[in-house]
Amino acid sequence: MRRRLSQLDLASLAGVTTRHLSFVETGRARPSREMVLHLAEHLDVPLRERNQLLLAAGYAPTFRQSDLSAPSFAAVRRALDQVLAGHEPYPALIVDRRWELVAANAAASVLVEDVAPELLAPPVNVLRVSVHPDGLGRRIRNLEQWADHTLGRLRREALMTGDDDLLALEDELHELVGRQGVEERRRAVEAPNEVAVPMLLDSRRGPLALITTIATFGTALDITLSELAIEAFLPADAATAQTLRDYSAARAGGAGSADGAA
């Protein structure tokens, strides 16, 4: 199992007997719809894959997949806009399950300085942009460390979901990172008071030290909503905070701008 749980561990978590779980696993017993969803909940199976499990067990899918532009998503769109605006003057992005950009705040413009235009043509994959030599790859001073962190996270997501697109993206990013010279990838400098893996990024206004947080909707019942993630970039030191405030002041004064959505 992808979760590396033994049958006994799963039975204990789900509150069922190992005998019944064994019968379900070997096909000797057909699980009820409720049992399929119960086990999927305890395994943290993504909603998209829960529908597939229901189909495999002979049941109709439970979770719908809506379009973000649908009227039913109006409240969600407002909430997302508020979250993005609330992170100013710090960069924040919204991405989907394949790390394709859905929206960004104005402060995110600092992340795409000097990025090749073709990498910013929709759909924009933020992981590809972050390590590509024509993207942020040439501006990240600790690229090797950042790439290890990024690719490790992508690997876990690919294994968890079994998503072929994520597996293909992982292969592509490994090739992109490997394509860059060793010296270029080992320009790492000491991170300030490191408590998390930072992105040490060169910008037009000076070096930035950024740490990231990921937020998701914990009670989502719609596949689209469950697969959205908000990634916020926060300053790891006072100098970075000041530089980002300077960028914000320049934008307010008309010296720079950024689109709010992809």
In tens, the pLDDT along 184-207 reads 444 444 445 556 789 999 999 999
Supply 129's token pair.
Answer: 């942009």
Q: What is the pTM of this model?
A: 0.79
Count of CB atoms situated within 10 Å of the CB of 214:
10
Q: Answer whether 46's CB lies under 8 Å from 161's CB.
A: yes
Which 8-state DSSP code applies to residue 61?
-
Supply 38's token pair.
Answer: 């119960």
CA–CA gap between residue 193 and residue 158 (Å, rounded): 31
The b/e string for 12-21 (b: 16+ C-beta within 10 A; e otherwise) is eebebeeeeb
CA–CA gap between residue 227 and residue 122 (Å, rounded): 18
Average pLDDT, the chain: 84
For residue range 151-165, list pLDDT tens digits in order.
888 988 888 788 889
Cα 249 from chain centroid (whole Å):
29
Percent above pLDDT 70 for the chain? 82
Whole-number pLDDT of residue 15: 66
Supply 201's token pair.
Answer: 């990024």
> Order of strands, edge to edge, in the sheet holding 229-235?
101-104, 92-95, 229-235, 206-216, 199-203
Collapsing DSSP to helix, strand or coil, 12 comes out as: helix
Domains in the chain: ranges and CATH: 13-56 (no CATH), 71-252 (3.30.450.180)
- Write phi, then psi, for 125 (nearest 5 degrees): -95, 115
Is the pLDDT confidence value at 22 over 80? no
Collapsing DSSP to helix, strand or coil, 63 comes out as: coil
